[in-house]
Copies of this chain bind each other. A is one copy, B any other.
Amino acid sequence: MTIYDIAKEAGTSISTVSRVLNNKANVKPEVKKRVEEVLKKYNYKPSAIARGMVSKTMKSIAVLTVDVRVSHYARIIYVIEQEFSRKGYNVTVCNIGNSARECARYIKILTEKQVDGIVLIGSVFSKIIDTEENIALLKNTPVVMANGSLPYDNFKSVMVDDRGTIREITDYLFDKGYRNIYYVQDMDTPSANIKADGFRESLKLHNIERVESRIIETEYGLEGGRDAADKIIAMGREFDAVVFGEDITAIGAMKQFIRRGFKVPGDVAVTGCNNCSETRICEPELTTIDNKPELQGQMCAAILSDILEGKKVENGLVIKAEIVERESVKKLKML
């Protein structure tokens, strides 16, 4: 069923059919009515592809992310999807799983499909997407990065102040009276590295020496956290607080500290980052950092929308995260 069929049946021309389809003026009411009846009779449905052929857009955007199953990313994606859905766009989700090759493959397909825009979620993209070929392919596609940035005209960013936030939560522990603070890094993304820098800053500010010896490396996850706790205990040095770059790893460590006879937060305070749902499940509930995924999604969507509507957009937005005080840090440590 095409507009040709409709036109023939309604005894008019395809232009007129097209006009009523697009609600344009200049169609005699009776003709319009006649066409609409035929439209309904055949349950006509315009071809978005044919329309895209002339309009150069299928009204769709793409979101690339490491993995939708990571709740933090899913929350960002959700907001973006809802926002664009309201504007008549569809969003296709791509899981690249840290693979530069996968990323390149997606970029190729997506640009061939002429998506109207792309949102990159996660700091990994700062590294992964910056190849000559990708950038060339993306030349005419607006790109918005959530927590990453690249110096191309068509790339915009919404950043989270990872460094500042980890510095703040470390300062916060010092304020509470903690002195022997450690940091656990469980990933090698730009974001993870910047977080560790925040920790370094805070320690230097407090005149702590041998900062590097206070940074423990492990794997991401419950098991990684368990290993980190074991490592810290095995070092045989004093410790009264451990800052983590990720909630889940923090929870794994907390469980292990408790299993090994330490009281949290009595003997050791633990802090996480992301404010994921698990932080309210564990015992004690985890003091963590809310880095506002919904806000990130909203800003990304707003920026991309503005670009698509030809508006001027401000780049370099920075989101301020917030400490969420719960139970894994004492109100005030007695010295």
Q: Tell whether A93 is near chain B: CB-to-CB under 8 Å.
A: yes
Q: A52-B49, A53-B49 are in contact. Are A113 and B137 (CB under 8 A)?
A: no
Find out whether the CB atom of B74 lies under 8 angstroms from the CB atom of A68: yes
**Size of interface on A: residues with Cβ below 8 Å to B:** 50
Stretch at the interface among A22-30, A211-219, A279-287, A327-335: A279-287
Find out whether the CB atom of A49 lies under 8 angstroms from the CB atom of B43: no
Complex interface residues of chain A between 261 and 285 (CB less than 8 A to chain B): 277-278, 280-283
Find out whether the CB atom of B58 lies under 8 angstroms from the CB atom of A68: no
CB of A45, distance to nearest CB on chain B (Å): 6
Q: A52-B49, A53-B49, A81-B95 are in contact. Are A90 and B69 (CB under 8 A)?
A: no
Q: Which residues of B contact A108 (CB under 8 A)?
A: 45
Q: Tell whether A136 is near chain B: CB-to-CB under 8 Å.
A: yes
Q: Tell whether A91 is near chain B: CB-to-CB under 8 Å.
A: yes
Q: Tell whether A92 is near chain B: CB-to-CB under 8 Å.
A: yes
Q: Tell whether A238 is near chain B: CB-to-CB under 8 Å.
A: no
**Interchain CA distance A43-B132 in the complex, whole Å:** 12
Q: Which residues of B contact A47 (CB under 8 A)?
A: 112, 114
Find out whether the CB atom of A69 lies under 8 angstroms from the CB atom of B78: yes
Complex interface residues of chain A between 65 and 119 (CB less than 8 A to chain B): 67-69, 71, 74-75, 77-78, 81-82, 85, 88, 90-95, 102, 106, 108-114
Q: Tell whether A222 is near chain B: CB-to-CB under 8 Å.
A: yes
- From B91, B111, B280, give the contact of A93 (CB < 8 A): B91
Q: Tell whether A316 is near chain B: CB-to-CB under 8 Å.
A: no
- From B78, B110, B113, give the contact of A67 (CB < 8 A): B78
Find out whether the CB atom of A109 lies under 8 angstroms from the CB atom of B90: yes
Q: Tell whether A251 is near chain B: CB-to-CB under 8 Å.
A: yes
Find out whether the CB atom of B60 lies under 8 angstroms from the CB atom of A68: no
Q: Tell whether A48 is near chain B: CB-to-CB under 8 Å.
A: yes
**Interchain CA distance A222-B112 in the complex, whole Å:** 45
- From B69, B112, B114, give the contact of A74 (CB < 8 A): B69
CB of A170, distance to nearest CB on chain B (Å): 24
Q: Mark A24-64, 1 if CB is under 8 A from B, else 0.
A: 00000000000000000001011111101100101010100
CB of A171, distance to nearest CB on chain B (Å): 28
CB-based nearest B residue for A136? B43
Q: Which residues of B contact A58 (CB under 8 A)?
A: 49, 58, 113
**Interchain CA distance A60-B115 in the complex, whole Å:** 13
**Interchain CA distance A211-B152 in the complex, whole Å:** 66
CB of A19, distance to nearest CB on chain B (Å): 18
CB-based nearest B residue for A254? B281
Q: Which residues of B contact A110 (CB under 8 A)?
A: 90
A-B contact pairs, 10 of them (CB 8 A): A45-B137, A49-B53, A60-B92, A68-B77, A71-B71, A78-B95, A82-B95, A90-B92, A278-B278, A282-B283
The 9 closest A-B pairs by CB, nearest first: A48-B113, A92-B92, A48-B112, A49-B52, A90-B92, A281-B281, A93-B93, A69-B74, A278-B281
